[in-house]
Structure 1
Amino acid sequence: MSDSETLEDALEQTVATIDVPTRTASSPFDREDADLIIRTSDGIDFCVHTPVISVASPVLNEILNTRMGIISDPDGRQVLRLPEKSDTIEPLLRLCYPVPRPPLRSLRQIRDVLNAATSYDIQVIGEMLETRLVTYAEQFPLQVYAIACRNVLENAARTAAEYAVRKPFWETYHRDIEYITAGAYWRLLAYYWDIEKKRSRNKKNRRPKLLWKCSEGTSSLPSTKAPSPFPSSASPPFDETSDGDVVLKSSDEVLFRVHKVILSLASPFFRDMFSLPQTGTPPDSAGNGPIIPFTEPSETIDTLLRAVYPDEDPDLKLVHEIEGVVEAAIKYDMPKCISIMRKKLILCASKEPIRVFMIACKNRLADVASAAAHLSLRRPILYSFELGSVVLPFSALEDITAGSLFRLIEYQRECSKVANDATSDLTWTREDFTWRTKMNDAIVGTCQRCTRAPLELGEEQLHVVGWWYIFYQEIKAFVRQRPCTALILESVSLMDKALVEAAKCGECFKDSIHTLRTFRTIVTQHLDKRLAEVKIRIDF
């Protein structure tokens, strides 16, 4: 997992399972009539009875039936090694056995036991420990919320959410969010802002409720072509006129007649596939070689093929179309197609940056994720929530971790801070040639009619013309919410208040537009440099 602590834990578990001296656990897991030994990663042997664990855990029951992973030690005993440590397995087993319940003295231990219970599908333990988990909700709300979501404990999640939304929880990182979906985190964000909205409007009607599950199905739209009971032919050049030597059949029964040599050159996946004997794949009726079934719809297969055939690049403009193709291109290891889809995703990111960011994270496309994150500064997530104009960006939220979403919000917040710092303190302008030669005289000037406002420039205090100061305040407020220089340049209304004030002075008005534009250029150039220094943490 991405977090360094998580990696250390994983390495520790891996090393611990190799040649660790063992010792037998305490009663009741030291009985000689036990018929199986569960050996933990820290070398503790739990002598257990298979009827007990078979009833408690469908997963362990399947292991016992298939004998997968069970070995015999030098004494002839049956041993099952598990990756968890003894301080997790012992309370887990005690909760399954008819013995007094174990004392769980920390949130970490409750979390580890719950996670193990979920891994081995021991549902009764989740019900037993939910009450204990809730006792930590007030002190550790976000951690409890994450643990509850991971283990599908709805009541505990709702209780923790009540405490979590008492403050801006997104300002603090907790490792547990790496194990829940971005959808769960997004719903907590939505819950926070729903409460804030009602509070700001002094509404006393029913309190908003936390949305527990995503309301949408799949992250990409299904094929628009209805499945046919009989196979149909693809469009040229993959139709019956093709002299291809293999046939690809899509999930909606469309046949693509293609050339092995082209696919072999385009993809190591296909090269390896065609190097094997083609068994169980009868040729089509036209004798164009074996038929190979694929799980993707015809639209996706068609785009994949056109991307690698000597043809024009496929004309895709909708995100859901590109999403399906890029996933298939990665699955079938098609570098050229992946490269084309990367560029198309970045183009789409100007309109749907959050969705493209999630697709990039899901498919581990770091460059696309970085580009989408930068474009998301046009409308940061927290700003959208504050406005109350957030649209849930499809169920792609369920395909990435909450940690990825946290890092996107963290990046946006850091950019807002950098932009705010750069515009609040203009001492950097002393090094700007245009400011020294043009701006200083323009905003200080000698006009006696215009109102004046104080501007601190380090230890120096200037008395600048009021109309310029209005524009300066407008820019400061703007970038604090939306740290995007392109929007400053595009905005046609950002100068309005300043120009209205400048119009009161005939002497200043004639040069005011030029002065404001000059200042805007100085600010955006400086902000571009400062924002380029802020990097999002891409951690897949």
Structure 2
Amino acid sequence: MPALTTSATLTPTAGTMKKASCLWSTNGSDLRIRTSNNMEIEVHKVTLQIASEIFESMIFQACDEASRHRFSDTSSKVIRDHPFISVEEDSASMCELLQYIYPVANSPILALHKLESILDLAYKYKVKVAIQILKRQLVRGTWMTLRPLSVYSIALRHGMHDVMKEIYPQLLSLDITPEKTLKGLTEEETKLPVTDLLLIAKTKVKLYDLLSPKISEVSDRIPQNNWQCRYGCWTRNFSTAVLEHVRKKPSTPVDILLFALDDQRSESECTCLKNSLDACASINKCIIESTQGISLPLKEHPNPIYTVVDPHVFRYPDADLTIRSSDSTEFRVFKDILGNASPVFSDMFLIGDRHAPMSSSNIDTSVVELTETGKIIDALLRYIYPTVRPEFLSFSEALDVMEAAVKYDVKSAVSVMSNDLIVTGLIDEDPLMAYLFASKHNLASLKHSAFGGLIMKDLPNHSNFFQHPKFTDFEPADLQRIMRCRSEFVTGAIQTIANAIRAHHACIPRSKQGEGLMGLVWLQSTLIQAVRSGCSFLKLETVLSTMSSEFGPFHILPVLQCLAKIRARLVDFEADFRRRLQTESANT
């Protein structure tokens, strides 16, 4: 870690420093950060000290004081006497880090190198809340799939073992071999030391050696003769392709639809769909279990300090306010932190003091009573304070805290929690309630996602939709729009299926079209029912089990190939439909 530069000088040289603009409130600021490009950032000592032990140490050296909080006159005549600390970074970099310390809404980071630079700063200054937020973005974004080596490199550098463990299986499916490490690496592969790349390559070989006999065993269990397969059982033939797949990508489960799409044989008349599904399920079970059994190569133990919730953050004896919950839980907090995050709290403090004003010999002991429980207040305060935030386990739990955030006008907490509900999928537990809440409080992104959930999952046609305790809160216009969009979505999806089947059938040689037609007819019927019942387009292969049990024998290869094309088209259709809904909502 680079050396941390501090200064104990109280008065900056006049005319040499410029004030940096900030997204957070600087009311009551009592400290300045001097950056490498001669800018000064106005901050609050107590906020930085709670957020980072490094900042706390720097402030102690600069101010020669041990208290986390000093009541200071912030009038213009003494602002020039505020102490400052100096850092090696420029003002832009420091402001990017400080935005995760203060309760301000942060837009998602789109560039991985940008997230990496801020994360490096967060680790340098040990800002736990920034580390937590940035890690969430790292693992929830598309980088885990598109840039796995870069993500692993970042996680390796900072000892983020939970991230490393999550992404390691993807590394085992990359094109990394011992020979390649000697011939030349791609730009992304050079982010990892050659020793780590060699370890990944060796682990791939180890996993393949483990899986190969298991896959052969599964293949041997497939019935060898089936009178309906005139040209041989496709399931037995595709086992060779599975072994080649596992050699290249040993940790990636088999997608039977993609395997069928890659098989160019048009003469296969295999009808053993159940054999194919059973074999695929057994192989994927072996892959998942064997991959989980591969130990992650770790060189050091993780430091849990960056993920542990601080139980003492609301117990500092030098805090100047006590919040009492409905169940008599007390939180000792700092007025400046809460007041700058919430205008409601700021106004409340003016009338909530039950005791005499602070004197020079004691600490203000103002008490404010709130109607929320201690659990809700604790979670809300952790979205205001620069400390590790809670992980919600259910939608209802998160909604209780969001209700409190709206009540006290903590806009940053509402924004962050809305995004978390969408990204984590908790919104899917109750999209109706999410839609009503978002509509009431004008939360556009949450409302759009909840609306999509209502449309895609066919909830309007389920009896429990109308029996929901909040159903009567729906505006008639909203309900009509939901029904209309659901009808349009189903109609469009069914048309997409018909077009895909028609196009696929046209590509089959005319002499073979009659033989595979029955399977495609049954496929279309089954898919229409699946769409109407709200089946996820990403899991359309589940309809194959229905077909294998409800219909007679049919040629499975053209059905599997066609279903692969339909799945791709429907995923694109859903994405386009969601974009249209978003545009429509924005224009109304």
TM over 0.5: no
TM-score by length of 1: 0.44
